Amino acid sequence: MMFPLVRNALSRLRIPRIQQIRQSHSKHSPDFHDKYGDILLASGTSFCLVTWVFLVTQIGIQWGRSPVGRVTPQEWNEE
């Protein structure tokens, strides 16, 4: 929502320097990120998801094993 407003405001300004910066930042041809960005994002997300699923299910971590309430302190022995 905010980007079109800023773009509109910059296009109406008559300051030549801002116009030059705006034109220099516009892309004319697709680059690496345009071609492979979505694929890399999807593959990275799936890699992290698969890694976490493996860690949670296969390594054998005992989840929720808190000793609070189950461990009682022993009497202090002053010898």
CA distance 14 to 18: 8
Who wins on pLDDT, 42 or 73? 42
pLDDT tens-place string over residues 5-64: 777 776 766 666 666 666 666 666 778 888 888 999 999 999 999 999 998 888 877 767
Q: What is the pLDDT of residue 27?
A: 63
34 contact partners, CB below 8 Å, separation of at least 6: 27
Q: What is the pLDDT of residue 49?
A: 97
Inter-CA distances, 76 with 72, 73, 79, Å: 12, 9, 9
63 contact partners, CB below 8 Å, separation of at least 6: 56
Q: Is 70 exceeded by the pLDDT of residue 66?
A: yes
